[in-house]
Structure formats: C-alpha cells, structure tokens
Amino acid sequence: DQQVKQNSPSLSVQEGRISILNCDYTNSMFDYFLWYKKYPAEGPTFLISISSIKDKNEDGRFTVFLNKSAKHLSLHIVPSQPGDSAVYFCAAPAPSGSARQLTFGSGTQLTVLP
Amino acid sequence: DVKVTQSSRYLVKRTGEKVFLECVQDMDHENMFWYRQDPGLGLRLIYFSYDVKMKEKGDIPEGYSVSREKKERFSLILESASTNQTSMYLCASSSTALGGELFFGEGSRLTVL
C-alpha cells in the first residue's frame, strides 16, 4: 500500500520556465510533508517542507502547495535552472510512532534543459 | 553541519556472503534509519532505531538485520547476500525534538554477483 505517490517518473523543462512536481497521498493523518532532492551518487538532501496547517510555503525559487481536500501537494520551481536537474522525492512522517520515520514517494526525475 | 558517514561507497559481493554496512552520525541524533533506493520504487525503509539497542522493522526487513550498540552507529547486516539485494543503501539520522528532518549519508552502492 503506497501511501505517498509520485505518478510522473520524469519531467523535462526548459531553463527559465516553471517546473511543477506533483505528489499525492492517501493517509489523511499525515500532518507534515517534505521534499528531498537527490543527485546521482549522493544522498538525498532536504529541500522544503510544509505543515498541514498551511497551504503554501515558499523558500526562494521553491514553493510547495498543499491541497488537503485533494490529498495533493506540488513543488514549484521558478525559474528552473540546469543545476535543478535531479530526482525529487516527496515524503511524509509516520503520524505516530517513536521515530516519525518517513515514507517516500517513488521520485520524479527532473531534467532542466539549457 | 550534520555529518552522516557510510563506511563504503561501493561494494561488490558474491551470493551467500555476509555483508556489513556501517553508518556513523555526529549530531547525537536519537533516530537512525536504513533505506534502499531502487529505480521506480523510491526509497524504502528497511529498519530503523529510535534508541541504543532498540530497533524496529520498516517496510522491507526480510533478509536484513541491524545493530545499534552505540548511539552514533547503526549497522545493516545482510546475513547471506542475494542478487535481489543489489541496490543503493542509504543511512539517515534525525532528531524528533528538532522536527524529524532526515539527514542522509552519501549512500553505499552494493552489487551482489
């Protein structure tokens, strides 16, 4: 049972344009969401997060939107840059439990074309 | 800066061999995790630990075991490696009190022949 889903395995965008990466979840108990970015041969790094009490969080070129009624979140990158080319994972921590372990989506490979 | 260090970046092992993957973190985090990453499947949780000597199964624990004898160190053990365990293994740590953000190591690419 995949509780966090990223249905687009890949996305290509022209440099300077907007990249929109989507994520859906099934567990209405999730109260916090995170996006991670991963380059090849490196570990994932934290990018941006959003609490379920908000519908938007912005950090520079990166904005995450949360639509709780649709159980959907999206990451907007504007303007996109070639250095943004990476795999992006959305994740949510377990609603209960000792370590708040993260459940990850399958990832979206973003390619920004110069 | 948080530092999570995985002992081996690349390993090649033969079917049936015992494999140890070591992970050390320097931020006094109480939680440590082992994930594996496979194309199209994302990051899947193998085991995690929320305290010394405590461990819990994740989503795919079969074929793996773990050890946490010290707070800073979390080891993943493959008792008898199989070809379907060829993967990228990622260790991470977090502090629940600080929001639970995971900090990852650089990963260990294991190939089982």
Query: CA dist A84 to A9, A38, A48, A80, A91, Å?
Result: 16, 10, 14, 7, 19
| Interchain CB contact of A8 with B (< 8 Å) | no
Per-residue pLDDT tens digits for B41-93: 899 999 999 999 999 999 999 999 999 999 999 999 999 999 999 999 999 99
Which two structure tokens, joined as six digits, stand for B52? Answer: 């010394």
Q: Do A99 and B56 touch (CB under 8 A)?
A: yes
Among candidate residues A98, A62, A57, the one with its CA nearest the CA of residue A77: A62
Q: What is the mean pLDDT of each run of 10 residues along chain A (114 residues)?
A: 89 97 94 93 92 95 97 97 96 78 93 96
For residue A98, the model assigns a pLDDT of 66
Q: Do B43 and A34 touch (CB under 8 A)?
A: no
For residue B56, the model assigns a pLDDT of 93
Cβ(A25)–Cβ(A5) under 8 Å?
A: yes
User: What are B's interface residues with A at a Cβ cutoff of 8 A?
Assistant: 4, 9, 30-31, 33, 35, 37, 40-45, 48-50, 54, 56, 58, 90, 92, 94, 96, 100-107, 109
For residue A1, the model assigns a pLDDT of 66
For residue A24, the model assigns a pLDDT of 97
Q: Per this entry, what is the length of chain A?
A: 114
For residue B19, the Cα-to-chain-centroid distance in whole angstroms is 12
Determine which helix (DSSP H) or strand (DSSP E) holds B34, and give its type and residue range: strand B31-38
* Euclidean distance between the first and the last CA atom of chain B, given in angstroms as a whole number: 37
Which two structure tokens, joined as six digits, stand for A55? Answer: 């519908």
For residue B100, the model assigns a pLDDT of 74
For residue A8, the model assigns a pLDDT of 95
For residue B96, the model assigns a pLDDT of 78
Whether residue B2 is predicted with pLDDT greater than 80 in this model: the reply is no
